[in-house]
Structure 1
Amino acid sequence: MTNTIPIWHLTKSFLLIKFIQIVIVYFTPVQFDTSSQIIITQLKNQHHHDSLPSIIISILDKLLVWDSVHFNELFVNEYKYEHQFVFCPNWIWLIRNIPIGDHNYYHKFLLSIVLSNLCHYLSVIVLYYLTLRYFESSNHGRRQSQHSPSQLARLSSLFLIISSAGIFLTINYSENLCNLLTYSAIYVYDCSLNYQDFKSTNKKSINNYYLYVFSGIIISLTFTIRANALLLGVIYLIDLYQFLIINKNVNNSIGAIMGGLPLFLMFVITNLISYLKFCPQRGEWCNYKLPILFQYAQSHYWNVGFLKYWTMGNIPNFIIILPTIIIQVFTILSFYKDLPQSPKFLNLVIISILMNIGAIFFWNAQILTRIITMLPLQYWYLSILFQNPNPHQKSMVKIIIYYNLIWNFLQTSLLAAFLPPA
């Protein structure tokens, strides 16, 4: 790689966005939903805020909203109830076991926010190198010939900084660690493959089995951070089909099985743990043919299911995610059209399609703005358009940039005021 990462430029942009968000949180005058005040009052009566400056306490109090309430409870206490098992364990485990804060509620809250933002920053750096990895080689069709890989990498990292996920990449949600692990896994996975194997029908084979399986291990850990990372297992299913059916390569097929095995085992283990904790005495979901607590809790406590979110009351949430959906549609179509020249994008395109279908038709739709950040395609698409000589396309990207900035700061004020969308 001949280009040096523009570390200072990215760092300045990152810190500026975070600083503005924190200022907005601090000066947000009042919260619409005051339910968190019950927790805050109890904590202050127990002196859980000792040794922290009042300005930090004020900011933390306003960030004690939505899922942060559940995260913070689990940072200092064990899992007790069914609904808590929808929050994947390893983000909880990590914060709980870092020897800082001595299980003090506010200290662990602050630690989780700092660590989340560190993961966001590292994700920006890893995305830079991942973009170079995907666009520097000579086998990327028209995309490579028209665009500078280093410029694409810089722009992609900047788009991640001003992502539509906004304030959710600044508070203590697990998205940032999920993104960091996902980008890292994709990078390691790509390093393990040879896309110039002319002995294979589709010119693809595994050239480093250790790296290939290691990418699967990283993905299995990612699943314990956010459940939607289960979709990353599609990578190894597609590879198994290509290696076994198309290439008829037994060794590569075994490699694909070994690459996907860690995620499968992690899925079984995490569900077995919850089953052993509640079953058979719990009944109900314990008696299902596939007794998966996560699926039951999402449906029972969060009303997740096919078209369950399609109600009149949720129309504002669909309007909010409409710009994200539009960008996703154009992103998927663009990379799909380019697959004949750039087949290595196939896995990411299919995962992106599945994630969008899941968010729009099955899950709480507004979470699309933050869960889609785990895939780099949208950032690559916008970066490619921004470098396009067509002035109309460049203007469209500028509009998206302005929208993302405005939405970032508007969303920050909404969250600090304990208002939707969550």
Structure 2
Amino acid sequence: MGDTKIVIQFAIISRILIVLLQLVSNYLIPDHDANVFISPKSPTLNGSACHSLVEKCFSGFRRWDGEYFLHVAEHGYTYENMLVFYPLFPFCVRYITNLGQTIIGTNCEFRDLALIIAIALNTVFFTKAALVLYQLTMEIFNDRSMARIVTTLFCFNPASIFFTAPYSESLFCWLSFSVMLYCARGRIGAAVLPLATGICCRSNGLLNFGFILYYVTRDIWTNGKTNWMHFFKSFLKVLLCAIVAGAAFGVVQAYFYSLYCENDTFEMSEAVKNYGIVKKYLLAGERKADWCSYPLPFSYSYLQSHYWNVGFMKYYEFKQIPNFVLASPILIMIIYHSIQFIMANPTIALRLGLLQPKSNVQIVKFNLFVYTVHAFALSIFCLFFVHIQVSTRMLASSTPYIYWLCAQYFQREMQRNSWKAFLQPRSRITKFIKGWFLGYFVIGTVLFCNFLPWT
């Protein structure tokens, strides 16, 4: 059986396990009253067989931020605080759900069908991400056993629940890894589409432009210093990518601006409107938002600070120690190895990974430089600026670096089938990695689907 088929099988099996874990734990454990946002139900929501089935089998996925994504899919951006959830994923769910209702009729309410569609989409996106990660690993390391271990780790990664629940992690991961793969292969033009759509998916999608800038700069450094035509073509590629990236970001911001700075009417149900009034949310069409008067009227930073208390070291509170502990494995792993990489490869670091070495051993490290810097920068940002508990899912969906680091430990002791290396670790560190990945895979799912802290 080819590696591609095995990767697909692993990805799908891992998603089935998540669904089953959710089903069992949601049935056995009563939901915690987390006092968080719950999308208001329509008074017309019926007690159909579809509704009962979805509630019994999949309601554990409708938790935490998943409520926001599904609300946007069903009702749009009715409340100002929802603008931090970018539109690509919820709009995909909306349009496919509408199509599904057209085909099967309205026996299944939008709310119920949207949840099923979101889970199905994320299964597809996750499988796509696993395949691209396999290809990217082959491109960087040229090592099939390494690629196999990496994709096995990815399929059972510690943020797995967020790759199946109605979050944008799977879609963003697929798009981000695609940008990296196209850049590594020198296909800068092909990277434009996943770059632009990734920006419409998550706010940190703009960072992926750095890979395009880096790879084009490296190409110019290698081939364009004495070839002005090559330099000019490379410059045009970067300019085109920058324009497309800026346009994608601008479209999202313009859409948000039109809703909360220009639009004085927004159709919403009475249930949605009344819920927003009770919660004291700013409703779309109610009045101009405060950030509309900013010189650059971008909503994201304002909303993160105003609604979510996100800012430099704002999360450094005694009560958040358990969340710091939960985030510590991935942060320590990336930060420690990033610093170690830079110290062990000062020549590559000082040359910013632009001057290709002649040694085959150094070529892999040369190729790793940009991913190391990217992962390190994201980790430092998580450590000081975000709600620390989101670090695991943010890093697991944004960078392949954590999977490469962990896979290298397994590869060092591997003397058997590479697909099974993850199941039979030998050293303490590989046993810890296996325990961390599988432990978070199981515990995270159980906690998440019962509204217990795991966001």
Q: Do the aligned residues in 2 keep the contact of 1:48 with 1:106 (CA within 8 Å)?
A: no
2:141 matched to which residue of 1?
A: 135
Residue 360 of structure 1 is aligned with which of 368, 373, 383?
383
* 1:12 Cα deviation from its structure 2 partner: 7.0
Unaligned runs of 5+ in 1: 137-148, 193-210
Q: 1:399 maps to what in 2?
A: 432
> Post-superposition shift, 1:405?
0.9
Of 438, 442, 451, 1:409 maps to 442
What is the alpha-carbon distance in structure 2 between the residues aligned to residue 176 and residue 390 of structure 1? 29
More divergent stretch after superposition (112-121 vs 169-178) = 112-121
Matched, 1:381 2:405: yes
- RMSD (Å), alpha carbons: 2.9
1: CA distance, partners of 2:126 / 2:76:
27
Q: Which residue of 2 aligns with 1:264?
A: 246
- What's 1:234 paired with? 210
Letter in 2 for 1:290: L
How many residues get paired?
389
1:175 equivalent in alignment to 2:181:
no
Query: Structure 2 stretches of 5 or more lacking a match?
Result: 226-230, 263-286, 349-356, 416-424
Deviating more after overlay: 58-67 vs 181-190: 58-67
Percentage of matched positions with identical amino acids:
23
**Aligned-pair CA distance for 1:26:** 3.3
TM-score, length-scaled by structure 2: 0.77
Deviation, 1:134, is 1.7
Within a 5 Å distance, the mapping from 1:241-390 to structure 2 comes to 242=218, 248=225, 249-279=231-261, 282=288, 284-333=290-339, 335-336=341-342, 337=344, 339=348, 341=362, 342-373=365-396, 374-389=398-413
Q: How big is the shift at 1:65? A: 1.8
Q: Does 1:17 align with 2:13?
A: no
2:130–2:151: 8 Å Cα contact kept in structure 1?
Answer: yes
How far apart in 2 are the matches of 1:53 and 1:293? 36
Give the drift of 1:15: 4.9
> How many angstroms does 1:234 deviate by?
1.6
Q: Secondary structure at the match of 2:452?
A: coil
The 3 A distance-change label for structure 1 pair 132 and 394 is: farther
Q: Of residues 47, 50, 57 in structure 1, which corresponds to 2:48?
A: 50
CA distance in 2, matches of 1:385, 1:353: 19
- Change over 3 Å in CA distance of 1:12–1:100 after alignment to 2: closer
Asked whether the 8 Å contact 1:240–1:256 carries over to 2, the reply is yes
Q: 1:405 to 1:255 in 2, by over 3 A?
A: same
| Structure 1 position 6 matched with structure 2 position 6 | yes
- Going from structure 1 to structure 2, the CA distance change for 1:49 and 1:245 (only over 3 Å counts) comes to farther
The correspondence of residues 144-183 of structure 1 with structure 2, limited to 5 A, is 149-183=143-177
State the TM-score, normalized to the length of structure 1. 0.83
* Secondary structure in 1 matching 2:412: coil
Listed one character per residue, the Cα deviations across residues 246-273 of structure 1 (whole Å, up to 9, x for unaligned) are: 8543332222222333112211222122
Change (3 A) 1:127 1:242: closer
Q: Is the 8 A contact 1:307 1:361 kept in 2?
A: yes
Once the two structures are superposed, what CA deviation does each residue of 1:121-155 show, in whole Å capped at 9, x if it has no partner?
A: 2222221122112222xxxxxxxxxxxx1111111
* 1:111 corresponds to 2:117: yes
